[in-house]
Amino acid sequence: MVRCFIGIFIPDSLKPKILEIQNLIKSPYVDYKLVEVENLHLTLSFLGEVEDTRVPDIKDELDRICSNFKKFNISIAGIKFIPNEKYIRVIVLDAFDNLGTLLEISKEIKFCIGGDAKPPHLTLCRIKKINKDVVSKLQNIDSYCGGFQIASVQLIESRLSRSGPVYNILHEAKLL
């Protein structure tokens, strides 16, 4: 079994602004776990534990899906709370493009491969407890982090360790 997800790693050029936003979350009134800078990524679908024998089929299907899409540009901006503002378990940044291509790829992955596919997002942190003042502060910040070109989508293994998850790219599917 391999624990994995389908996603896209974030370029280093966007990380300073993302770290700036993560620093705004830090507060004595928040019980949280920030995503490590080297692990920042867009999540398209969380597959969870997958049989090793299924991995080659997932790679093939991911290649097939990505071969139907041209490279495109996305923007990272907009604080969101999952599942909602009243009960926050995860704080994320929204990822979007003008034509909705990222969402379309994500839906195709969910339909053809499966997994838990929320709309594409970049997880900033997981929350155990948060103060409403911190939520208000986050809602009122400039959360635009920049944009970048999506040229590929990765199948990523997530091995859990005491110091946090360790990610390993199992496969990279190129867009046209």
Taken in order 81, 84, 88, 90, is the CA torsion positive or negative? negative
Nearest to 121 by CA among 45, 47, 43, 13: 43
Contact assessment for residue 121 and residue 45, using Cβ atoms and an 8 Å cutoff: no
How many folded domains does the chain comprise? 1
121 counts as catalytic: yes
Q: Identify the H or E element spanning 120.
A: none
Q: Where in the sequence is the domain holding 23, given as residue range(s)?
A: 2-174
CATH of the domain at 149: 3.90.1140.10
Q: The tokens of 60 are what?
A: 């093939």
Which of 2, 14, 41, 88 is the catalytic position?
41
In angstroms, the CA 38 to CA 36 distance is 6
171 counts as catalytic: no
Which of 121, 123, 127, 171 is the catalytic position?
121
Mean per-residue pLDDT pooled into runs of 10, the chain (176 residues): 97 97 89 95 96 98 98 97 93 96 96 91 95 88 97 97 93 98
Say what the pTM is: 0.93
